[in-house]
């Protein structure tokens, strides 16, 4: 279960340590990626923070599971109100999936 936190990224970094990756636009910070060892071998569990649009400087905590190659994340949660009232996926989950896919593409190119 995700720690449903929100706050300034600098405070989150101070509490949690540096993220594994930051997106080039600095609106997404991924703290960890874990390969799932259960059933679906390629599935990745991704946790991180995505910038809020309505509150400048604030970030929402987001966790998703994603299978590389798929168009969308298949599950997840977020600390925002949209997730609370409308459920998954909120725009933060989509942003984090897109940022992860972008990093995968860069990693492949650099190999």
Q: Per rule CB under 5 A, is residue 90 in the interface with Zn ion?
A: yes
Which one of residues 28, 46, 80, 99 is an interface residue with Zn ion (CB under 5 A)? 80
- Backbone torsions φ then ψ of 7, nearest 5 degrees: 165, -170
C-alpha 29/C-alpha 20 separation (Å) is 8
- Backbone torsions φ then ψ of 66, nearest 5 degrees: -140, 140
Closer to Zn ion at the Cβ: 6 or 104? 6
Rg of the chain over all Cα atoms, to the nearest angstrom: 13
Q: Per rule CB under 5 A, is residue 28 in the interface with Zn ion?
A: no
Closer to Zn ion at the Cβ: 51 or 92? 92
Q: Which span (22-30, 66-74, 86-94, 98-106) binds Zn ion, by CB under 5 A?
A: 86-94
Q: Per rule CB under 5 A, is residue 46 in the interface with Zn ion?
A: no
Closer to Zn ion at the Cβ: 11 or 84? 84
Q: Which long-range contacts (CB under 8 A, 24 or more apart) does 32-40 make?
A: 33/100, 36/65, 40/67
Q: Which residues bind Zn ion (CB under 5 A)?
A: 78, 80, 83, 90, 92
């Amino acid at each position: 279960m995700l720690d449903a936190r929100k706050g300034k990224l600098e405070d989150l970094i101070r509490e949690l340590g540096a993220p594994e990756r930051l997106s080039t636009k600095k609106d997404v910070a991924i703290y960890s990626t874990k390969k799932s060892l259960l059933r679906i071998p390629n599935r990745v569990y991704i946790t991180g923070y995505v910038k809020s649009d309505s509150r400048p400087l604030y970030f929402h905590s987001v966790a998703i599971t994603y299978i590389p190659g798929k168009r969308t994340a298949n599950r997840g949660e977020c600390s925002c109100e949209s997730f609370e009232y409308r459920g998954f996926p909120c725009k933060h989950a989509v942003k984090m999936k897109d940022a992860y896919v972008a990093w995968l593409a860069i990693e492949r190119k650099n190999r």
